[in-house]
Structure 1
Amino acid sequence: MKYECEIWHIRIGYLASACFSFIGKLVRLFSTQFPNVRVQLVEMTSQEQINAFDKHEIDVGFSRPIPSNMNTRLDCLNIYNDRLVVVVPELHALSTYEHIAISDLKDENIILLNRMSAVGLFNKISGIFHQEKINPNIISQPSNMQTLLTEVSAELGIAIAPSCFANLYTKGCLLVPLMGAEIKVPLEIQYMTNNTSIIVEEFVKMTIQNKKLINDLS
């Protein structure tokens, strides 16, 4: 199928850990249907994607939900729901737990991904501590996920993160489910509300049509 359109490329920002399991397959499917469209993939944090949309540097993003006060120009559609886990050093006492409650972390050193890198995720985790009336002892806020895992493996502290972190290098760490079945971390496909590119429309449509595949791979 071919379209006469103004652009023949699409720029896609994505969170590496959240998309690693499916992004290659999804892009292959799209490129098979639209072989004349050049796809540019750019690994970005959530905040970098927000900035890139503002500068018109990407057409589509795969990211976590954006706080409503920061989103005035994007349409956001849910792709799948990840779950939160506690990332602990492999020899830590909590590594033997089947599930970990937030209350189990009240006396632990906590490592969280920097708010500027993942504002929605940071706010969600902070909100969980607040609901339990716990003031977490946050000792580090690295700007990228691999550094967070390295700090945990070095036994500097314990982290809370989406389970998709298992797609990264996690030697020395164990991922233990966080107690609370309602604690979900959505992944969304995001694009400009005023988008006029039929290529972007087709990519979004194909992504939604393949939600089951994405969930199966994630």
Structure 2
Amino acid sequence: MELRHLRYFIAVAENGGFARAARLLHVSQSAISVQIRDLEEELGASLFDREKHKIRLTYHGELFLQDAKTVLAFADGAVANVQRSLRGEVGTLTIGFFAGGTGTCFPAIIKEFKRRFQDVQVSLVEMTTAMHYKALQAGTIDVAFTRPMPPSDAATLHFEHLHSDRLNALILKSHPLAKKRSILIRELANERFILPDRNYSPFAFDKVISLCADAGFSPRIGATTMVGSGMAALVEAGEGVAILVRSSTILHHNELALVPLADRTAFIDLVIAWSPQRENPVLRSFLELALKMRKRPGLSRK
């Protein structure tokens, strides 16, 4: 039994005869008759009462008609799902991100993608930027909002720039520089620095070291932490200063001030990264939307 047997049978049943069904299906009447006869032989039951040149369904035909419609509906649905999957409209997508570094573009992109692709199951996984690279290569996540990749990973992963965040000095409000509109990092040369742990945030760590080197000094490292909230706590405890992006979580510390760095290169990039070996239609749909939305005002720095 093939799907065409069911289509021919339903056409005859719903149109009251072989002739009308043949015209609608653009096949010969004899072809439909042969297919229906084969179907009846396979089923071992007559589906139509053909007496007095009138065609009507038998009791068995009435039962079979409902099942035939159900089977065709499932088959048509399966075809439609494949077509939708080819267009990236159905499937799953796992997105990695890290707290405090995604800015306004991340929630805007996620919200818009879920609005447009309501049949894609989206999962969000928070992890450190160092974990993003391994997770992308292993296929644990499909795409990541992260920092630029180290050279060892750049060969196997692709990334696109989303926007750049200005870096700021996080200092005590009692610090002599706290009331300035902006400062240069060389003004912090005599301070101890609270840095992100390089094992978890290699790009952020290296960025601060590079800024200090460009300003002609090597920072005295007082401590390292895994997350921005830990850096804020140590700064508030008087353990040193920190360099990071603006965050509402940081600003909740009443004793701290966030002063923008005026250095020309005092920016840190946010990128979207993925493995080209694991691309699929859903991922391509997400990337297309994300890269289009990064050009909107307010989502990127010119």
TM-score norm. by structure 2 comes to 0.66
Question: How many angstroms does 1:112 deviate by?
Answer: 0.7
- Distance in 2, matches of 1:113 and 1:143, equals 6
Question: How many angstroms does 1:92 deviate by?
Answer: 1.5
Question: How many angstroms does 1:189 deviate by?
Answer: 0.6
1:80 paired with 2:163, answer: yes
Match of 1:186 in 2: 269
Structure with a larger share of its residues in helix: 2
- Distance in 2, matches of 1:129 and 1:23, equals 29
1:158 paired with 2:241, answer: yes
1:29 paired with 2:144, answer: no
1:112 paired with 2:186, answer: no
Structure with a larger share of its residues in strand: 1
How many aligned residue pairs are there? Answer: 216
SS in 1 for 2:94: strand
- 1:21–1:167 CA contact under 8 A, matched in 2: no
Opposite residue 259 of structure 2, the aligned amino acid is V
Taking a change above 3 Å as real, the CA distance of residues 145 and 214 of structure 1, as seen in their structure-2 partners, is: farther
SS in 1 for 2:298: helix
Match of 1:134 in 2: 217
- 1:79–1:214 CA contact under 8 A, matched in 2: no
Identity of aligned residues (%): 23
Match of 1:8 in 2: 91
Answer with 1 or 2: which has the greater Rg. 2
Please give the root-mean-square deviation of Cα atoms over the aligned residues, in Å.
2.2
- Distance in 2, matches of 1:204 and 1:67, equals 21
Taking a change above 3 Å as real, the CA distance of residues 44 and 132 of structure 1, as seen in their structure-2 partners, is: same
Opposite residue 62 of structure 1, the aligned amino acid is F
Taking a change above 3 Å as real, the CA distance of residues 178 and 169 of structure 1, as seen in their structure-2 partners, is: closer
Taking a change above 3 Å as real, the CA distance of residues 69 and 55 of structure 1, as seen in their structure-2 partners, is: closer
Match of 2:122 in 1: 39
- Distance in 1, matches of 2:95 and 2:172, equals 34
Opposite residue 295 of structure 2, the aligned amino acid is K
- The higher-RCO structure (CA 8 Å, 6+ apart) is 1
SS in 2 for 1:39: strand
Question: How many angstroms does 1:22 deviate by?
Answer: 3.5
Taking a change above 3 Å as real, the CA distance of residues 217 and 103 of structure 1, as seen in their structure-2 partners, is: closer
Following TM superposition, where does structure 1 have runs of at least 4 consecutive aligned residues deviating by more than 3 angstroms? 212-218
Taking a change above 3 Å as real, the CA distance of residues 72 and 209 of structure 1, as seen in their structure-2 partners, is: same
- 1:89–1:154 CA contact under 8 A, matched in 2: no
- Distance in 2, matches of 1:37 and 1:31, equals 7
- Distance in 2, matches of 1:214 and 1:64, equals 21
Match of 2:248 in 1: 167
SS in 2 for 1:175: strand
Structure 1 portions without partners, runs of 5+:
none
In the alignment, which of 125, 133, 136 is matched to residue 50 of structure 1? 133
Question: How many angstroms does 1:179 deviate by?
Answer: 2.0
- Distance in 1, matches of 2:275 and 2:172, equals 40
TM-score norm. by structure 1 comes to 0.90
Opposite residue 165 of structure 2, the aligned amino acid is D
Taking a change above 3 Å as real, the CA distance of residues 100 and 20 of structure 1, as seen in their structure-2 partners, is: closer
